[in-house]
Amino acid sequence: MLLRLAFFLFFIVSPLQSWASDPFSSSEGVNAVEFFEFDSTEQQRMATELAKSLRCPQCQNQNLIESNSPIAKDLRFKVFVMVKEGKSEQEIVDYMVERFGDFVLYQPPFKAQTWLLWLTPVIILSLFLIYAARSVRRK
Protein backbone atom coordinates (compact mmCIF):
# COMPACT_ATOMS: atom_id res chain seq x y z
CA MET A 1 0.00 0.00 0.00
CA LEU A 2 2.81 2.37 0.89
CA LEU A 3 4.55 1.55 -2.39
CA ARG A 4 1.40 2.44 -4.34
CA LEU A 5 1.13 5.74 -2.51
CA ALA A 6 4.77 6.52 -3.28
CA PHE A 7 4.25 5.75 -6.99
CA PHE A 8 1.08 7.83 -7.02
CA LEU A 9 2.82 10.83 -5.46
CA PHE A 10 5.81 10.44 -7.76
CA PHE A 11 3.65 10.48 -10.89
CA ILE A 12 1.64 13.45 -9.64
CA VAL A 13 4.60 15.57 -8.50
CA SER A 14 6.98 14.73 -11.35
CA PRO A 15 5.02 16.48 -14.14
CA LEU A 16 4.43 19.49 -11.91
CA GLN A 17 8.13 19.86 -11.29
CA SER A 18 8.99 19.65 -14.98
CA TRP A 19 6.23 22.12 -15.80
CA ALA A 20 7.58 24.58 -13.24
CA SER A 21 11.10 24.38 -14.64
CA ASP A 22 10.10 24.35 -18.33
CA PRO A 23 13.01 25.90 -20.27
CA PHE A 24 10.66 26.67 -23.15
CA SER A 25 8.38 28.87 -21.10
CA SER A 26 6.88 31.59 -23.31
CA SER A 27 7.28 34.22 -20.61
CA GLU A 28 11.08 33.99 -20.64
CA GLY A 29 11.42 36.65 -23.32
CA VAL A 30 9.18 39.00 -21.40
CA ASN A 31 11.14 38.31 -18.21
CA ALA A 32 14.35 39.17 -20.03
CA VAL A 33 12.90 42.59 -20.81
CA GLU A 34 11.83 43.05 -17.22
CA PHE A 35 15.27 42.12 -15.85
CA PHE A 36 17.24 44.26 -18.28
CA GLU A 37 17.70 47.73 -16.82
CA PHE A 38 16.58 50.49 -19.16
CA ASP A 39 16.86 54.20 -18.49
CA SER A 40 13.13 54.76 -19.02
CA THR A 41 9.89 52.90 -19.60
CA GLU A 42 9.86 54.35 -23.12
CA GLN A 43 13.12 52.50 -23.85
CA GLN A 44 11.66 49.31 -22.42
CA ARG A 45 8.54 49.66 -24.59
CA MET A 46 10.63 50.37 -27.69
CA ALA A 47 12.91 47.38 -27.05
CA THR A 48 9.95 45.06 -26.52
CA GLU A 49 8.17 46.24 -29.67
CA LEU A 50 11.35 45.92 -31.73
CA ALA A 51 12.07 42.43 -30.44
CA LYS A 52 8.48 41.44 -31.24
CA SER A 53 8.74 42.83 -34.78
CA LEU A 54 11.96 40.97 -35.66
CA ARG A 55 11.89 37.31 -36.65
CA CYS A 56 14.28 34.80 -35.13
CA PRO A 57 16.74 33.69 -37.83
CA GLN A 58 16.73 30.12 -36.53
CA CYS A 59 13.06 29.53 -35.71
CA GLN A 60 10.05 29.17 -37.96
CA ASN A 61 7.87 32.23 -37.59
CA GLN A 62 8.74 33.19 -34.02
CA ASN A 63 9.85 36.64 -33.01
CA LEU A 64 12.79 37.38 -30.74
CA ILE A 65 10.56 37.57 -27.66
CA GLU A 66 8.80 34.22 -28.28
CA SER A 67 11.86 32.24 -29.31
CA ASN A 68 14.17 30.54 -26.82
CA SER A 69 16.91 29.63 -29.26
CA PRO A 70 20.42 30.79 -28.36
CA ILE A 71 20.60 33.14 -31.36
CA ALA A 72 17.27 34.74 -30.39
CA LYS A 73 18.51 35.31 -26.85
CA ASP A 74 21.69 36.94 -28.20
CA LEU A 75 19.76 39.12 -30.64
CA ARG A 76 17.21 40.08 -28.00
CA PHE A 77 20.07 41.20 -25.76
CA LYS A 78 21.67 43.08 -28.69
CA VAL A 79 18.38 44.90 -29.35
CA PHE A 80 18.13 45.85 -25.67
CA VAL A 81 21.71 47.13 -25.60
CA MET A 82 21.26 49.13 -28.80
CA VAL A 83 18.05 50.70 -27.46
CA LYS A 84 19.81 51.60 -24.23
CA GLU A 85 22.65 53.15 -26.26
CA GLY A 86 20.10 55.45 -27.87
CA LYS A 87 19.99 53.89 -31.34
CA SER A 88 16.86 54.58 -33.37
CA GLU A 89 14.44 51.85 -34.41
CA GLN A 90 15.57 52.16 -38.02
CA GLU A 91 19.25 51.83 -37.05
CA ILE A 92 18.51 48.64 -35.13
CA VAL A 93 16.40 47.17 -37.94
CA ASP A 94 19.09 48.10 -40.49
CA TYR A 95 21.73 46.39 -38.34
CA MET A 96 19.66 43.19 -38.14
CA VAL A 97 18.88 43.21 -41.88
CA GLU A 98 22.55 43.82 -42.70
CA ARG A 99 23.56 40.89 -40.54
CA PHE A 100 20.76 38.39 -41.34
CA GLY A 101 19.08 39.66 -44.49
CA ASP A 102 15.42 40.41 -45.10
CA PHE A 103 14.42 37.14 -43.39
CA VAL A 104 14.36 38.90 -40.01
CA LEU A 105 11.57 41.18 -41.27
CA TYR A 106 8.01 39.89 -41.23
CA GLN A 107 7.24 42.13 -44.23
CA PRO A 108 10.17 42.01 -46.64
CA PRO A 109 10.62 45.10 -48.84
CA PHE A 110 9.58 45.19 -52.49
CA LYS A 111 12.79 45.03 -54.51
CA ALA A 112 14.25 43.20 -57.50
CA GLN A 113 14.91 39.97 -55.57
CA THR A 114 11.40 39.81 -54.08
CA TRP A 115 9.16 41.01 -56.92
CA LEU A 116 8.06 37.47 -57.74
CA LEU A 117 7.13 36.86 -54.11
CA TRP A 118 4.94 39.97 -54.05
CA LEU A 119 3.41 39.73 -57.53
CA THR A 120 2.65 36.00 -57.79
CA PRO A 121 -0.64 36.21 -55.83
CA VAL A 122 -1.77 39.18 -57.94
CA ILE A 123 -0.88 37.38 -61.18
CA ILE A 124 -2.67 34.18 -60.14
CA LEU A 125 -5.78 36.12 -59.07
CA SER A 126 -5.79 38.06 -62.36
CA LEU A 127 -5.49 34.88 -64.42
CA PHE A 128 -8.32 33.29 -62.45
CA LEU A 129 -10.57 36.33 -62.98
CA ILE A 130 -9.82 36.39 -66.72
CA TYR A 131 -10.58 32.67 -66.98
CA ALA A 132 -13.81 33.08 -64.99
CA ALA A 133 -14.94 36.05 -67.11
CA ARG A 134 -14.29 34.16 -70.36
CA SER A 135 -16.11 31.04 -69.19
CA VAL A 136 -19.14 33.11 -68.13
CA ARG A 137 -19.25 34.89 -71.53
CA ARG A 138 -19.20 31.56 -73.40
CA LYS A 139 -22.30 30.34 -71.60
* SS3 (DSSP) at 52: helix
**For the chain, what is the largest distance between any 2 Cα atoms, rounded to a whole number of angstroms?**
83
% of the chain residues with pLDDT over 90:
38
Q: How confident is the model at residue 61 (pLDDT cuts 50, 70, 90)?
A: confident
- Residue predicted with more confidence, 127 or 12: 127
* Cα 26-29-34 angle, rounded to 5 deg: 125
Left, alpha or beta for 61 (phi > 0: left; psi -120 to 50: alpha)?
left
Give residue-wise pLDDT tens across range 18-34.
554 444 444 444 455 55
The predicted-structure confidence for 35-45, as pLDDT tens digits, reads as follows 788 888 999 99
Quick one: CATH architecture of 2-107? Orthogonal Bundle (1.10)
Indicate whether 63 pLDDT > 60: yes
* In the chain, where the domains are located: 2-107, 109-139
